[in-house]
Homo-oligomer: A and B are copies of this chain.
């Protein structure tokens, strides 16, 4: 297999803690990074601002956006991230892992990776970085290693680049890391987590985290385990 431009990568960037860390890891690995973010009608626009801040903070060759109007699909119905569905609060880790959360968005990572694949081919770079994590929050089917492996197999049949022998690799450096491990590595690489956004239900325009949704609780628990305070709560 021939690779495309081997030190160039597309990095999926949501503005959250995991994707920020993933971008820092890709840059540390010597990749020239093109960040890719999505505006798909998230209820909370603060996420989009966080992606912009992180791209500027860590430095990228370009930051591209795909705007997807899914109102025709009924808003990718039924997810607390896009619809008017209550975000669950104050759950312990056992409750969190008991079932796939209501924040699940149908086929979201599949859609994200598909656009990343198109961009990678367009840029002749055959590396995609994604901050999925199957440990602390294993409810999402499209964060599992077997899903990523199947996606990569499909991607290597999907494109002109693949037919020409350029192998695409989907890098998921965080996939088996705990949340404290992720934060520890990100801090070593200089990530300012005060610029990231994780909350599923932030307060109004200020974007202040609620502190009670699954995402906030996992994040705070991780900082606590590191004997630190989340800079977002300072």
Residues of A within 8 A of B (CB): 64-70, 72-74, 76-78, 100, 104-111, 113-115, 117-119, 121-122, 141-142, 144, 146-147, 150-151, 153-155, 157-160, 162-163
Copies of this chain present in the complex amount to 2
Distance in angstroms between the alpha carbons of A66 and B115 in the assembled complex:
14
Distance in angstroms between the alpha carbons of A9 and B142 in the assembled complex:
22
Distance in angstroms between the alpha carbons of A153 and B155 in the assembled complex:
12
**A73 contact from B66, B72, B147, Cβ within 8 A:** B66
Q: With A66-B70, A115-B111, A150-B154 known to touch, is A77 a contact of B160 (CB < 8 Å)?
A: no
Give, as a whole number of angstroms, the nearest-CB distance from A115 to chain B: 6
Question: Can you name 8 A-B pairs with beta carbons within 8 Å?
Answer: A66-B70, A67-B68, A76-B118, A100-B160, A141-B159, A141-B163, A142-B159, A144-B157
For residue A117, which residues in chain B have a CB less than 8 angstroms away from its CB? 106-107, 110
Q: Are the C-beta atoms of A111 and B114 separated by less than 8 Å?
A: yes
For residue A77, which residues in chain B have a CB less than 8 angstroms away from its CB? 122
Nearest CB to that of A70 among chain B residues? B66
Q: Are the C-beta atoms of B72 and A69 separated by less than 8 Å?
A: no
For residue A151, which residues in chain B have a CB less than 8 angstroms away from its CB? 154, 158
Q: Are the C-beta atoms of A119 and B73 separated by less than 8 Å?
A: yes
Q: Are the C-beta atoms of B78 and A122 separated by less than 8 Å?
A: yes
Most B-side CB within 10 Å, residue of A76, A111, A155? A111
For residue A104, which residues in chain B have a CB less than 8 angstroms away from its CB? 160
Q: Are the C-beta atoms of A154 and B147 separated by less than 8 Å?
A: yes
